Amino acid sequence: MAAKSNQSVVGLALLLGLFSTLGPFTIDMYLPAFPEIVKQFHSTASLVQFSLTACLLGLGVGQLVMGSLSDVYGRRNPLLISMAFYVASSLACAFAPNIGLLITFRFIQGFAASAGIVISRAIARDLYSGNELTKFFSLLVLVGNLGPLAAPVAGSGVLSITSWIGVFIALALLGTFLLSMTKMRLRETLPLERRSPMDFGHQIRNYGMLLRDRHFLGCMLAQGIMIAGVFAYVSGTPFIYQNIYGVSPTVFALLFGSNGISLIIGSQIVGRLSHRVSEQALLLFGLALALLASVAVLVVATVHGPLFSLVIPLFFFVSAIGITSTAAFPLAMEGQANMAGSAAALLGVVPFLLGAVVAPLVGIAGEDTAVPLGVIILVSSTTAILAYFFLGRSGHASKTNDQKAA
């Protein structure tokens, strides 16, 4: 609790939010350069999209590893080491001689960036619980969601004065800044008495306990499947907007970045209403909104409607992600104080692993159709609703009944 007395809530949220933005910047900043990278390496759209898949895999697998390590060794030291690896891998991406090595280095870069995501969430759980956690997490998401808003715009700005190589050099500079912030500003929040033993088997048992918790599992899948749909949007829109609708990289960056605003709106709806509306109700609202928006996207893609008719439902779909992810996190973290790192890791790994699967599928029918994007986000929305109803909601009811009986 010392961290809470030495740093303001806003200051702490700003600091942790900066680490959360590392994931969006790592994913989004090079998106406007996709067509340029295809030409540079004489490659294909699907293969360049696979570099995004590799990054998502690194982000997913890395969170499992870093979440467990942070439960054993504390939050600060694993974050310091990861930021150093992030800087090195970003520079390696910048000077990759071929698409194969770029894909490899992107995996390492994503793995290193994962620490910022999972450990920032674990720190939040170290310091807060209940409604305080919901409010703080909405503030953390507010800062973190500036990443999707700023990253493609920053990437487009870098591309206007240099090549795609400059994007990765800029990411290396961002990593250097975060490394220094970790060293100077971040204090340890996990006391020795609350750390897990240095036992691999114990960590596996922690993950097993979490995956047997129906409530946790349902919230995790609802959040993860929905965010996987966003990765389909992330992977597909550079080609849909620029190749199908003919917009410039700058206009693409503005259109893509506008959905960072929708994420912020969605997360802040949860933060503002958490005192009056339950997280369960807010999560259900977000899931329903995503379903309606994804149906609209598929219809527009099928008839090849005008650009604005595609941008509007995608705006609402992404805002629904802001609602669902912000509401699902505190619901899933209920009762996980002693496994906060492991729980945060699972909540983080599922979106990236699923995203790694769906990202290349957007281009499966070529670069001249948006129908696969509509199908994928509709399937994501429907599956997320089913997961929450059959696991999360029923698991929460069972847990509540058990507590009343006790």
Measure Cα distances from 389 to 218, 283, 321, 382 in Å.
8, 11, 17, 11
Q: Are 28 and 151 in contact (CB under 8 A)?
A: yes
Alpha-carbon distance of 385 to 173, in angstroms, equals: 40
Amino acid at 274: S
Q: Check residue 369 and report its DSSP letter.
A: -
* Four-CA torsion 11, 17, 21, 23, nearest 10 degrees: 140
Q: Are 252 and 241 in contact (CB under 8 A)?
A: yes
State yes or no: pLDDT of 7 exceeds 60: no
Stated as kind and residue range, the H or E segment containing 304 is none
CATH numeric code, 14-188+210-401: 1.20.1250.20
Alpha-carbon distance of 27 to 152, in angstroms, equals: 9
pLDDT in tens, 223-246: 889 988 887 887 788 878 888 898
The residues, any chain, with a CB within 8 Å of residue 299's CB and separated by 6 or more, are 305, 374
Alpha-carbon distance of 388 to 9, in angstroms, equals: 31
Q: Are 351 and 228 in contact (CB under 8 A)?
A: yes
Instruction: Read off the pTM.
Output: 0.69
Alpha-carbon distance of 347 to 168, in angstroms, equals: 27
pLDDT in tens, 373-386: 899 999 999 999 99
Cα of 214 vs its chain's centroid, Å: 22
The residues, any chain, with a CB within 8 Å of residue 270's CB and separated by 6 or more, are 134, 138, 279, 282, 322, 323, 326, 327
pLDDT-based confidence at 341, cuts 50/70/90? Answer: confident
Alpha-carbon distance of 357 to 269, in angstroms, equals: 30
What is the phi/psi pair of residue 375, to 5°? -65, -45
- Tokens describing residue 331: 């619901």
Q: Determine the pLDDT at residue 338.
A: 67
Alpha-carbon distance of 116 to 345, in angstroms, equals: 11
State yes or no: pLDDT of 387 exceeds 70: yes
Amino acid at 40: Q
Q: What is the mean predicted confidence (pLDDT) over 78-100?
A: 94
322: number of Cβ within 10 Å: 28
State yes or no: pLDDT of 168 exceeds 90: yes
Domain positions in the chain are: 14-188+210-401
Amino acid at 53: T
- Tokens describing residue 387: 């997961």
